[in-house]
Amino acid sequence: MASVLACCFLQIGCFAAASVGISLVGRVVDDADVKDHAEELLGKDISAADERFGEWIDVNREVNGPRAWYIYPVKHLNFLGKDRYVVEVQGNKIIAITRAEKTSDPKTDIPRALIIASSVDGKTPKECEAELDLGKPLLTARSDKTGLLSQTYDARLIEELGRPRYCVLRFNEDEKCTKVEFLGVGASTKEKPI
């Protein structure tokens, strides 16, 4: 019995170490990828990003602000299709590039999204802000593709640790919350992408 337990602990330890190793390699790949694109695109017109990444998925424009975020698919090393390039633009010039992943940590993102959704479903942006314990939204934006509103909040449990994580609330045409999702930042040219 003791040898079975020892074997289980060894396997768990190996799995945890492998998981950490994969995570670290992923970060190195994301950092190198964003750095490569940044060298070619920062300061250029948004058309340069279109040429490099292809057709954008959507554009989110800051409400009452000058910035826009063009969202492109990541076409390589994106086996689950969850990664996106987010190109921040101001005055038609590229000012930042971020590689983000939807539901980057399923073990925590999915339960947190379900808990938050149960408290904000059907509420207005102001009601959601009052209901959440996440402070003011970092960004309120409107989609070019759908015309719908979204609010983005800092979702890190401890701000000083790890890379940025965001909780995004999406609203319908009546501006009632209908969806909660989490985004993790793999790499960015900015310390705080939003």
Digit-coded pLDDT (tens) for 97-141: 999 998 778 888 889 999 999 999 999 999 999 999 888 999 999
Helix orientation angle between 2-41 and 46-53, rounded to the nearest 10 degrees:
130
The total number of structural domains that make up the chain? 2
Please check whether residue 47 lies inside any domain of the structure.
Answer: yes
Please check whether residue 64 lies inside any domain of the structure.
Answer: yes
Confidence of residue 32 (pLDDT cuts 50, 70, 90): confident
What pTM value is reported for the model? 0.81
Q: Which of 71, 101, 131 is at the close of a domain?
A: 101
**What's the CA gap between 138 and 76, in Å, rounded?**
30
| CB-based contacts of 58, cutoff 8 Å, min separation 6 | 71, 143, 144, 145, 146
Per-residue pLDDT at 156:
82
Give the chain's radius of gyration (CA, Å).
19
Please check whether residue 89 lies inside any domain of the structure.
Answer: yes
Do 11 and 44 belong together in one domain?
yes
CATH of the domain at 42: 3.30.1450
Do 85 and 20 belong together in one domain?
yes
What is the span of the domain harbouring residue 97?
A: 2-101
Per-residue pLDDT at 104:
78
**What's the CA gap between 59 and 142, in Å, rounded?**
8
Q: Which of 101, 130, 148 is at the close of a domain?
A: 101
Do 92 and 113 belong together in one domain?
no
**In this structure, what is the dihedral angle of CA atoms 125, 129, 134, 140, given to the nearest 10 degrees?**
40
- Asked which of 54-58, 78-82, 132-136 is least confident by mean pLDDT, the reply is 78-82
Do 95 and 133 belong together in one domain?
no
Do 21 and 77 belong together in one domain?
yes
Please check whether residue 80 lies inside any domain of the structure.
Answer: yes
120: buried, middle or exposed (CB in 10 Å: 19+, 13-18, 0-12)? buried
Do 17 and 79 belong together in one domain?
yes
